[in-house]
Amino acid sequence: MATYGYARVSASSQSLTIQQAALSASGCDVIRSEKATGTKLEGRSELETIIQFARAGDSITVTRIDRLARSVGDLATIVKRLEAKGVTLHVIEQPIDTSTAAGRCFLQMLGVFAEFETAIRRERQMEGVAKAKAEGVYKGRKPSIDAERVKALASQGMGATAIARELKVARASVYRLIGK
């Protein structure tokens, strides 16, 4: 029986060191880490590797439930996959151990709160963006395509596909700019 540790941070500027140290101190045999968003399962190759590698009787440990998933749906998907393989989930900072009924119940409650926290954060962010736009402070990101160059190439008779290839942009973006 092996114990696998999983550490995750969202931003490349964040450090995994504290989580890795906690996982190591809790007795994890192998620790996999990644810098990826927790709001979706896609693109989290280290988590997928641990889930696929774990066998019946093994356990996966995380420091906090939000390091594993930010939505109840994703959390349920992960736990269901682990249970189907006979793998348990342990969370260091919260009393979660899916080998017990109380641990599974607490896991589901925390999952609801993690999803709620994410939704509230997103709402606050959108409110801040709307306020900044209203005050003329926020203008959005800078265009990644030179619209004038696209129009100039189109006026010279170059087609959308050729323009897209020349500027290394999507053809749909070219069509949007030349109004076809």
Q: pLDDT tens, 13-64?
A: 889 999 999 999 999 999 999 998 877 888 899 999 999 999 999 999 999 9
pLDDT value of position 104: 80
Domain presence at residue 130:
no
Q: How far is CA 2 from the centre of its chain?
A: 26
Domain presence at residue 50:
yes
Range of the domain at 20: 3-119
Q: pLDDT tens, 60-84?
A: 999 998 898 877 778 888 988 999 9
Identified catalytic residue from 10, 13, 99, 144: 10
Domain presence at residue 112:
yes
pLDDT value of position 177: 87
The number of folded domains in the chain is 2
Domain presence at residue 157:
yes
Three-state SS at 99: coil
Query: What average pLDDT does this structure show over 77-98?
Result: 89
Q: Are 82 and 167 contained in the same domain?
A: no
pLDDT value of position 42: 84
On the question of pLDDT at 99 being above 80, the answer is yes
The distance in angstroms from the start CA to the end CA of the chain is 61
Q: Calculate what percentage of the chain has a pLDDT beyond 70.
A: 99
For 93-132, b where at least 16 C-beta lie within 10 A, e where not — what string?
ebebbbeeeebbebbeebbeebbeebeeeeeeeeeeeeee
On the question of pLDDT at 85 being above 70, the answer is yes
Domain presence at residue 129:
no
Q: Are 105 and 167 contained in the same domain?
A: no
10 catalytic residue (yes or no): yes
pLDDT value of position 180: 58
